Amino acid sequence: KNEVEQSPQNLTAQEGEFITINCSYSVGISALHWLQQHPGGGIVSLFMLSSGKKKHGRLIATINIQEKHSSLHITASHPRDSAVYICAPVSGGGADGLTFGKGTHLIIQP
């Protein structure tokens, strides 16, 4: 079973701050999802990456497969970034191959 740890669990920051959310896992994987869950519950897939780094707008995700670690960064954070961010490694276990972290609850204050 893949043990997924996210940190921090909760984060409150001021608008404009650089945000980092970390994810570590225990079992080797082929790829990893970063998901964003809005207050209403809907989930958006931000990234799926298997190596190196991906960038989309103000979001950057990095992964080190050997270290079993991934990070999600938000530059120039904005109140609309307030959401729960979930990492979900893709491994062999489970029908869907996903193990979900408990999420990081991010609040960006104006």
Partner 1 sequence: GAVVSQHPSWVICKSGTSVKIECRSLDFQATTMFWYRQFPKQSLMLMATSNEGSKATYEQGVEKDKFLINHASLTLSTLTVTSAHPEDSSFYICSARKGHGRTEAFFGQGTRLTVV
> Which residue ranges make up the site for partner 1 (CB under 8 A)?
30-31, 33, 35, 40-45, 48, 86, 88, 90, 94-98, 100-103
Nearest-approach distance from CB 86 to partner 1, in angstroms: 8
Nearer to partner 1, 17 or 100 (CB): 100
Nearest-approach distance from CB 41 to partner 1, in angstroms: 4
Nearer to partner 1, 40 or 110 (CB): 40
Nearest-approach distance from CB 18 to partner 1, in angstroms: 25
Rounded to 5 degrees, what angle do the CA atoms 65, 66, 67 make?
95
If you count DSSP H runs as helices and E runs as strands, how many of each does the chain have, helices first? 0, 10
Nearer to partner 1, 42 or 110 (CB): 42
Q: What order do you get walking across the sheet with 31-37 strand by strand?
A: 10-14, 104-109, 83-90, 31-37, 43-49
Here the tokens at position 73 are 């960064």
Here the tokens at position 59 are 């979001």
